[in-house]
Amino acid sequence: MEKAGCFGSFLESSKPYFAMISLQFGYAGMNIITKVSLNRGMSHYVLVVYRHAIATAIIAPFAFFFERKKQPKMTFSMFIQIFILGLLGPVIDQNFYYAGLKFTSPTFSCAMSNMLPAMTFVLAVIFRMEVLDIKKVRCQAKVLGTVLTVAGAMLMTLYRGPIVEMLWSKYIHPRKSYVTDTTGTGDKHWFLGSIMLTIATLAWASLFVLQNNALKTYKNHQLSLTSMICGIGTLQAIAVTFVMEHEPSAWKIGFDMNLLAAAYAGIVTSSISYYVQGLVMKTRGPVFATAFSPLMMIIVAIMGSFILAEKIFLGSVLGAVLIVFGLYAVLWGKHKEGLEKKEEEIPEAIKGSQVNGMSMSTINGDVGAHYKLSSVAISMPIKEPPMEANPKPTA
């Protein structure tokens, strides 16, 4: 029974990790498919519209059927929050990310996205969602991690270096690379793409921080919140596209890679990811939810070099290493902070009842393993010897 209970507890505590790891595989596929679609001529403005329109169509029915009861009251303040969330995610983040992806490469874009936890941490400190006590080692680790992450991003932006040959790249010869069409552009385009990716990451970090605040109101209605963000974001993206794209032909889409890119991004990386991220943030916070992006970079690097013969530069490798070290310094500090909070939340065991002049209390779980203490006091009954029917008189 104890083993079954421990296994169940392990599965329960591992759900956020499995969820975020699964999302990284989804993001990796999106980067590869989207890169091919953009290099084939699809407008990233139109792609953003179709992506979030599909996401809204997919998730809105679930929100209606499962969360239509006891909906939170829509106040003006809440509407403004959702409006800004739609502007940060579907409009600013996605448009700048796709533009940066077009000028650089999938692996580079994913590596730049690893700045997300550091940016989220800085914003969380600014808005007092994170407490920074520089005297504590965990806080020093988070600050150092943030510095390393920014340094790695700057190295990737300002230095490209020679091409790094992968072990398997010598033995595979794809018919055509849809990635290297744009990686061969000049340093000017590469630098511009880096700036766009940095702006997109900042918008994404702001989305996490504001969404974490909105979840306080929609804590039991994540599907509804996700559908409203995608719906309002779609309307905003349509307005932006009408301003930026003047050719009606840009809106044309058929049963091809463009439709696959829009559908995949809408279903996997908009509707599902927004919902799952909300669930994880509700229990673990925004910093934890952003701490798994290096896994996406590794997946994309392998897929990109295998499938698309993507060129990987030395500057990207060195910068990515710095970003990963910085990222996990932030994650380690966040983990230590979580352990300290658990220790503070453990209540003192109440005194047990007196049994034979001794105080006894039962504690379920191991304090070292940070299980909650039980306040159940066990009182054992005392059996007295049976009384004789006719006791003998004492002399």
- Same domain, yes or no, for 280 and 375? no
337 band by pLDDT with thresholds 50, 70 and 90: confident
| 214-223: b (≥16 Cβ within 10 Å) or e | bbebbeebbb
Q: Is the pLDDT of residue 178 over 80?
A: no
Indicate the length of the chain as a whole number. 395
Query: Is residue 141 a part of any domain in this protein?
Result: no
Among 313, 328, 357, the domain boundary falls at: 313
- Mean pLDDT for the stretch of residues 12-25: 83
What HEC string does 256-305 produce? CHHHHHHHHHHHHHHHHHHHHHHHHHHHHCHHHHCCCHHHHHHHHHHHHH
Looking up tokens 């306040």 gives: 375
pLDDT at res. 361: 41
pLDDT at res. 169: 56
Contact (CB, 8 A) for 146 and 122: yes
348 band by pLDDT with thresholds 50, 70 and 90: very low
- Mean pLDDT for the stretch of residues 340-362: 52
Q: Is the pLDDT of residue 350 over 60?
A: no
Among 291, 313, 335, the domain boundary falls at: 313
Phi, psi of 312 (to 5 degrees): -115, 125
**Structural domain of residue 300, as residue ranges?**
19-127+161-313
Q: How many helices and strands in the chain, by DSSP H and E?
A: 15, 4
Which residue in 101, 114, 116 sits closest to 42, CA to CA? Answer: 101
pTM of the shown model: 0.69
Contact (CB, 8 A) for 268 and 55: no
Phi, psi of 172 (to 5 degrees): -120, 145
Kindly report which listed range (135-139, 157-161, 196-200, 247-251) carries the lowest average pLDDT score.
157-161
Query: Is residue 340 a part of any domain in this protein?
Result: no
Domain count, the chain: 2
- Same domain, yes or no, for 237 and 361? no
Query: Is residue 391 a part of any domain in this protein?
Result: no
The percent helix, strand, coil of the chain (3-state, each to 5) is 70, 0, 30
Rounded Cα distance between 328 and 330, Å, is 5
- Same domain, yes or no, for 68 and 189? yes
pLDDT: is 236 or 324 the higher one?
236
Per-residue pLDDT reduced to its tens digit, 36-73: 888 888 899 999 999 989 989 988 998 888 888 888 88
- Mean pLDDT for the stretch of residues 262-290: 78
Query: Is residue 386 a part of any domain in this protein?
Result: no
| Average pLDDT value over all residues in the chain | 76
- Same domain, yes or no, for 265 and 370? no
What are the DSSP calls for 199-247, one per residue?
A: HHHHHHHHHHHHHHHHTTTSTT-HHHHHHHHHHHHHHHHHHHHHHH---
Contacts of 208 (CB under 8 A, 6+ apart): 116, 120, 277, 281, 286, 289, 290
Percent of the chain past pLDDT 70, that is, above it, reads 76
Rounded Cα distance between 116 and 111, Å, is 10
- Same domain, yes or no, for 261 and 366? no
- Same domain, yes or no, for 238 and 190? yes
Which residue in 116, 93, 85 sits closest to 213, CA to CA? Answer: 85
7 band by pLDDT with thresholds 50, 70 and 90: low
- Same domain, yes or no, for 290 and 354? no
How would you class 265 by CB atoms within 10 Å of its CB: exposed for 0-12, middle for 13-18, buried for 19 or more? buried
